[in-house]
Amino acid sequence: MDETRSTHRTANGEPPRPPAPPAVTVTAATAAVGDASVARGIRGLPGPGADERQFRAWMLVSTSLLAFMLLTVSIPLGATVYGVHLLAAFATSFALAGALPISVRWPWLAAGLSSASLLVFALLSAGSDGAPWPWPVTSIIAQGALLIVLGLMHDWKVGVVAWAAAVAVTMPFAFVDAGAASSMVTGAVVTALAFAVAVVLAQWRLIGVQLFREREHSASEQQRRVLVEERNRIARELHDVVAHGLSIIHVQATSAPYRVEGLSEEAKAEFGEIAASARSAMTEMRQLLGVLRSADAAAETAPQPGLTELPELAASVERAGVPVTLTVAESLPDTGLASMAAYRIVQEALSNVVRHAPGAATFVSVEVLGDDLVVCIENEAAADAPGPDAKGGGHGLIGIGERATLLGGRAEYGHRRGGGYRVLATLPLGSDGGTV
């Protein structure tokens, strides 16, 4: 193709090149994230495992702070108001408060410590008058906090056992007098309500984690389905190119004995085998295409486009309101896989510009560097607001990555510094089969 025929709206030779942005390499795996994920980036939300570790760390810190505050209150309270020896008050308070951070890791040990400290304190403070007994306020707070931690972080049965053990060891003191019975009922009811709230919150949190995992699984399945559909579509397009080459081989091999004089019988037999192999390969290709084509897919009978159709593509995009500057170098392959893949890559990239950056000035260049066909599509920042169809993922970047990968090449894309987007694809010509 000559430069005059292949250049569309080229002003003063080469279009201005913006600084190359840091590119993101596309493979078959990374392309599966879809257009929308690439456009807005992968959100930094932690998965269930990271969230669980963060929650456990938060609970450990909060329970440690609460245990320290309980120690500062319960030790002097037990020694002064309840008449417990200072060392005994320190030991029982330390066991009761220490059960809180311990419950984060070892729930059964925490339940045992809490029940034992309640029993020992009730025995040591039995002679006190005028204070709630056998459940002081600090004990109710500590036991309620312990049951909340158990309800949130562990199986609900552990919390039930811890609550029942605490009630059981202090139940005999309820028959001493009415004040003890009232304290006993208050402690049991308050801690039971705290545990019930914790269980409800734990179930709500569990449902949230399950929904997160289900959405993650659904998104993964959707990505795989889109990737398979795109690969099938590319395979159907490649079929036309390969079938055309096989048809030429078949025609040439079949007509060779009639076109070339003086062929030996061995040469005629060899040409016949070549023609038979070509026929067999075309039959298998048609069968493969039938497997790849879905039931509702319409037969694609039109010729596959190549680089020669790029000016028409640029003109159609301009009619959609996107100014396109197209620069196509000389001596490019007119046919073959690389030509078709380059056209489709430009088509997908321009479609993304129309959807996500309407009105943005766009520059398209196609050239040969060494043994590679290099396709670059860059657009500036959007001149108009994206339309409603810009939301959600399409197949554009998936197709670009897959087409480059199937030819043994690579594709890169990323946001430009200063606004806009850039897509760069490198397609090796060695495996193309086209003519330069």
Most confident of the ranges 218-227, 352-361, 381-390: 352-361
Rounded to two decimals, the pTM is 0.48
Q: Across residues 69-73, what is the average pLDDT?
A: 94
Residue that has been written with the tokens 């339940």 in this structure: 111
Structure tokens at 427: 């397609």
pLDDT value at 354 more than 60: yes
Q: Are 236 and 300 in contact (CB under 8 A)?
A: yes
Query: What are the two backbone dihedrals, phi and then psi, of residue 324, each rounded to the nearest 5 degrees?
Result: -120, 130
What is the average pLDDT value for the chain, to the nearest integer?
Answer: 80
Alpha helices in 125-177 (DSSP H): 137-153, 156-170
State residue 61's pLDDT score: 95
Q: For Cα atoms 155, 160, 165, give the angle at the middle one, nearest 5 degrees.
A: 130
SS3 of residue 411 by DSSP = strand
State residue 225's pLDDT score: 78
In this prediction, residue 352 has a pLDDT band, given cuts at 50, 70 and 90, of: confident
pLDDT value at 41 more than 50: no
In this prediction, residue 32 has a pLDDT band, given cuts at 50, 70 and 90, of: very low
Strands 410-415 and 324-328: unpaired
CA count, 13 A, side-chain hemisphere, 98 = 11
Q: Are 107 and 150 in contact (CB under 8 A)?
A: yes
pLDDT value at 174 more than 80: yes
State residue 38's pLDDT score: 35
In this prediction, residue 82 has a pLDDT band, given cuts at 50, 70 and 90, of: very high
Q: Are 189 and 142 in contact (CB under 8 A)?
A: no
Q: Are 323 and 315 in contact (CB under 8 A)?
A: no
State residue 11's pLDDT score: 37
pLDDT value at 63 more than 70: yes
For residues 340 and 18, which has the higher predicted lDDT (pLDDT)?
340
Query: What share of the chain has pLDDT > 90, as a percent?
Result: 39
pLDDT per position as a tens digit, 290-312 = 665 554 454 454 567 888 899 99
> What is the spatial distance between Cα 241 and Cα 226, in angstroms, rounded to a whole number?
23
Residue 380 makes CB contacts below 8 A (sequence gap 6+) with 18, 357, 360, 361, 362, 416, 419, 420
Of the candidates 223, 64, 79, the residue with the CA atom closest to the CA atom of residue 149: 64
In this prediction, residue 25 has a pLDDT band, given cuts at 50, 70 and 90, of: very low
DSSP per-residue letters across 25-54: EE-TTGGGGHHHHHHH-------HHHHHHH
Q: Across residues 63-73, what is the average pLDDT?
A: 95
For residues 340 and 33, which has the higher predicted lDDT (pLDDT)?
340
> What is the spatial distance between Cα 218 and Cα 221, in angstroms, rounded to a whole number?
5
pLDDT value at 404 more than 80: yes
How far, CA to CA in Å, does 257 sit from each of 254, 268, 281, 308, 318? 7, 6, 21, 35, 52
Structure tokens at 217: 């699984």
Of the candidates 53, 144, 156, the residue with the CA atom closest to the CA atom of residue 100: 144
State residue 240's pLDDT score: 59
Query: What share of the chain has pLDDT > 70, as a percent?
Result: 76
Q: Across residues 329-340, what is the average pLDDT?
A: 82
pLDDT value at 58 more than 90: yes
How far, CA to CA in Å, does 182 sit from each of 145, 308, 399? 21, 92, 73
For residue 305, say if its preceding peptide bond is cis, omega within 30 degrees of 0. no
State residue 115's pLDDT score: 95
pLDDT per position as a tens digit, 238-276 = 665 666 567 778 778 888 888 888 888 888 888 888 888
State residue 388's pLDDT score: 53
Q: Across residues 185-190, what is the average pLDDT?
A: 95
Per DSSP, 22 falls in state: P
Residue that has been written with the tokens 């510094």 in this structure: 417
Of the candidates 171, 83, 88, the residue with the CA atom closest to the CA atom of residue 129: 83
> What is the spatial distance between Cα 41 and Cα 13, in angstroms, rounded to a whole number?
35
State residue 24's pLDDT score: 39
In this prediction, residue 288 has a pLDDT band, given cuts at 50, 70 and 90, of: low
In this prediction, residue 391 has a pLDDT band, given cuts at 50, 70 and 90, of: low
Least confident of 28-42, 93-107, 231-245, 301-315: 28-42
> What is the spatial distance between Cα 99 and Cα 105, in angstroms, rounded to a whole number?
10
For residues 20 and 113, which has the higher predicted lDDT (pLDDT)?
113
Q: Across residues 145-163, what is the average pLDDT?
A: 94
Least confident of 82-96, 171-185, 381-395: 381-395
